[in-house]
Amino acid sequence: MATTATVHAHAAPQGFIRKYIFSLDHKVIGLQYYFLALVAVFVGMALSLLMRIHMIWPTAVLPLLGDIKPETYLQLMTMHGTIMVFFVLTTAPQSGFGNYFLPIQIGAPDMAFPVLNMLSFWTTFVAFVVMLAAFFMVGGAPLHGWTGYAPLSALTNSGPGEQLGADLWITSIAIFCIASLMGALNFITTLLDLRAKGMTMFRMPLTCWAWFITAILGLLAFGVLLSAGILLLLDRNLGTSFYVPLVVVNGQVMAHKGGSPLLWQHLFWFFGHPEVYIAILPGMGVASQVISTFSRKPIFGYKAMVYAIMAIGFLGFMVWGHHMFMSGMSPYSAFAFSIMTMAIGVPSAIKTFNWLGTMWGGRIRLQTPMLYAIGFVSLFVSGGLSGPFLAQPVLDIPLHDTAFVPAHFHLIMGVAAIFGIFAGTAYWFPKMFGRMMNETLGKIHFFITLAGTYAIFMPMHYLGLAGQPRRYSQFTEVAYLHHLIPLNTFITYAAFVTVAAQLIFVINFFWSMFKGPKASDNPWEATTLEWTTATPPPHDNFGGHTPVVYHGPYEYSVPGAAKDYIMQNDPVGVPAH
Amino acid sequence: MAPTIPVKDPELGYGGGGAHPPITDGGGDGGERDNGSPDYGGRLRRTRLGLLIGLASITMVFVALTSAYVVRRGLPSLDEKTSTYVRDWIPVNLPTGLLLVNTFLLLLSSVTAELARRQVARQAALAPVQSIPGVSIGPEGRFPWLGITIVLGLGFLAGQWMAWQSLGDRGFYVATNPSSSFVYLLTAAHAVHLMGGILALLYAGMTSLLKRPIEARRIVVDIAVWYWHFMALLWIYIFVLLEFMR
């Protein structure tokens, strides 16, 4: 049960373990999540490179791994998706940056429940260890995809990796669900109860709104995934038949009957769709924050942005069936899901136009955080435009399970959210570590990554339209796909270059942490409360003084003001004129 | 400083550029008043809010299980002998009498839990008065309502275990048929959460032994007991679902 231990101004922890391992300080915990995600993203990228190598050189023999069998390809694919979605995209933007900056941006000394916060991180860590352990089990990692469809995932003899590997996968996800629910609870309580004087809901930065709605989505969605996972474990291990109908495996009739694979799909996607909004909303918050700061203009339509985040969150619970258009559902249900899916494009478009409106007429400073934020908008639009295609059941019939679908979701969720993380990193690095990141390395990294990810995922749309299936380990033997091999090869080489370029980011990150030029308290001349603290912030964030807020979060270029920005806690307003 | 006229320039976003007096919104003071003493009222409110939010997530777990239950109950499956789709849902012969006894135990434990909660709230409210010589709360302030609640809760769990034995005796095990799977699933999920509640009540009891301040103990007991009430309501829901939607 969460204790009500709060952070006392004098009680900064002593000792290495209490300061850096089992810390109750939200800033340390945020960084712990961030570094967990950093490790996870390299594991995920390595898995994707192995997949791309196998796609164009199926018979290649690799050092240490040997040749990649078709089932190995499916195992790589499953773990790539699972690790990236859960341990990178759900972790870094929300638990990483959110934990670090939500309390500071609302003027609080810490999260509402610091002990629960610490437990959330370590539970996530345990989940990650359990997930990685699946690789080392007899049979290896599961091969049922990150979506874990039954009955493949519900039977222990359905393939290699589907014994202990799959059990560990489900257990890891269940542990992750519990960790996420604890984190969501903390975020919502903190935001509702710990805002400083003057920090009304509609004076909060859009990052806080994004973290708030994301936490609500997580609170309502992860319980459903947990239930689905429990049912799957029961089917696998106790012989129940929630998901498994009468099936024959390798000539042997299994002892299940009457279950419904569709039940798994409904439960999974009821979680799965809000999950993709959980992955992207914090990045949208960061984009708003950075674009406003570096355009020296208030965000265009702040209230519309807030309502759009709420609308995206709300509608996100109503569209899960668009992942199931090919499942044999009634066309009337498909129609309803299709309409709701297209509806969700409206608030997304509002946000996009408002970002552009913020930049229009602004005195734009094209520093690295701004480049990443603009890259986020670009990738969100590119990936988003293929969404309405897939949202039509009629168009989804030929496109479902082709390469068109990964093209769509990698652009709009994978890469866009990663650019949100890059933008947040570049923007907040000076505050977290007291030093500036290197601009030149940042720009090089930005351009190569932007070009590289477009080179990887834009041609993939064409591959899907041409009929290349997804989740197939090999195309080289198939005649009608022969003419696509050169394009696949190009994508693989682009992937090599892009992944290699990420080393530039890592080098920049760690070198700047120790050797970068020292940063001032507010190097970007931004308005929100985190830029009022010392750098890095002290244990209780504000050095014993509780901030009082007088302004909204984006008071840039206010006519008549002394400077082109007014900080939120600045009691001096605009002189009368 | 000349008085400012809040000019609502539409380009500036909400709030305009003028200086407004600070609105006393938000509860943020870090759980402490400005003189450094702990703000127990604020902490209680915060912890209750946290519990409410946590209960929303537990609700979603049981919403998902209910949805699976309703779907499965209405689902036809292939009868291999006749090659037609038939409903294979066989209602479980529940040990209703035993379950009613368990329900009574749990509701009674809710009553005793509530008495424990009010008892410690009264103790916390009277704490400043205790320092006056000659003033005491009296023997009714020391009645072990919390201990009784824990015993009743354990009794409920023992009764659930007996109910599962009884189901087994009637031939309904976890994997026997879909309806029996759900009976075990729903009751076990509830029992697991109830076990967590018992651990919370034990911790609440421990805080008195650990000599924590009464106001802090009050918060722990308050949260544990509200959680306990939720568990009782959840059990009623599950019982009604299993009995009337067999």
How far does the CA of residue A179 sit from the closest CA of chain B (Å)? 12
Measure the CA–CA gap between A498 and A447, rounded to whole angstroms.
Answer: 10
Is-contact A561 B30, C-beta < 8 A? no
Number of C-beta neighbours around residue A156 at 10 A? 17
Among partner residues B4, B57, B75, which is closest to A573 by beta-carbon distance?
A: B4
**Residue length, chain A?**
577
How far does the CA of residue B98 sit from the closest CA of chain A (Å)? 25
Confirm whether A411 is domain-assigned: yes
Tell me which chain B residue has its CA closest to the CA of residue A306: B14
Confirm whether A552 is domain-assigned: no
Helices (H) and strands (E) in chain A, counts: 18, 4
Can you tell me which residue has the tokens 């291999």? B80
pLDDT (tens digit, 9 = 90+) per residue, A460-512? 999 999 999 999 988 888 899 999 999 999 999 999 999 999 999 999 999 99
CATH classification of the domain holding A87: 1.20.210.10
How far does the CA of residue A86 sit from the closest CA of chain B (Å)? 18
Strands A61-62 and B84-87: unpaired
Confirm whether A570 is domain-assigned: no
Confirm whether A77 is domain-assigned: yes
Closest CA to A107 of A565, A546, A508: A546
Does B228 have pLDDT greater than 80? yes
Q: Looking at residue B36, what is its pLDDT? A: 62
Confidence of residue A11 (pLDDT cuts 50, 70, 90): low
Facing residues of A402 across strands? A469
Angstrom CA distances, A480 to A405, A424, A475, stand at 20, 44, 9
Is-contact A571 A197, C-beta < 8 A? no
pLDDT (tens digit, 9 = 90+) per residue, A129-165? 999 999 999 899 999 999 999 999 999 998 888 999 9
Domains in chain B: ranges and CATH: 40-244 (1.20.120.80)
Measure the CA–CA gap between A97 and A121, rounded to whole angstroms.
Answer: 13
CA dihedral (A404, A407, A413, A417) in degrees, to 10, reads -170
pLDDT (tens digit, 9 = 90+) per residue, A267-282? 999 999 999 999 999 9
Angstrom CA distances, A348 to A146, A306, A508, stand at 26, 12, 32
Range of the domain at A73: 28-532
Chain A residue numbers touching B59 (CB-CB < 8 A)? 223
Confirm whether A440 is domain-assigned: yes
Confidence of residue B35 (pLDDT cuts 50, 70, 90): low
B226 is written with which tokens? 């509200």
Tell me which chain A residue has its CA closest to the CA of residue B221: A1
Q: Looking at residue A402, what is its pLDDT? A: 96
DSSP H/E element including A133: helix A114-133
Does A442 have pLDDT greater than 70? yes
Confidence of residue A574 (pLDDT cuts 50, 70, 90): low
Is-contact B167 B94, C-beta < 8 A? yes
Measure the CA–CA gap between A202 and B14, rounded to whole angstroms.
Answer: 8
Mutate to test the interface with B, among A104, A263, A540, A574 (most CBs of B within 10 A): A574
Angstrom CA distances, A102 to A246, A311, A418, stand at 50, 21, 19
Confirm whether A15 is domain-assigned: no
Is-contact A440 A511, C-beta < 8 A? no
pLDDT (tens digit, 9 = 90+) per residue, A175-202? 999 999 999 999 999 999 999 999 999 9
Find residues 120-149 of chain B whose CB sits inside 8 Å of chain A: none
Q: Looking at residue A64, what is its pLDDT? A: 79
Number of domain units in chain A: 1
How far does the CA of residue A547 sit from the closest CA of chain B (Å)? 10
pLDDT (tens digit, 9 = 90+) per residue, A381-434? 999 999 999 999 999 999 999 999 999 999 999 999 999 999 999 999 999 999
Number of C-beta neighbours around residue A284 at 10 A? 31
CB contact under 8 A, B17 and A573: yes
Q: Looking at residue A573, what is its pLDDT? A: 67
Is-contact A267 A259, C-beta < 8 A? no
Exposed e or buried b per residue across A323-362, where buried means at least 16 C-beta atoms within 10 angstroms of its C-beta: bbbeeebeeeebeebbebbeebbebbebbbebbebbbeeb
Chain B residue numbers touching A540 (CB-CB < 8 A)? 30
Does A5 have pLDDT greater than 90? no
CB contact under 8 A, B64 and A223: yes
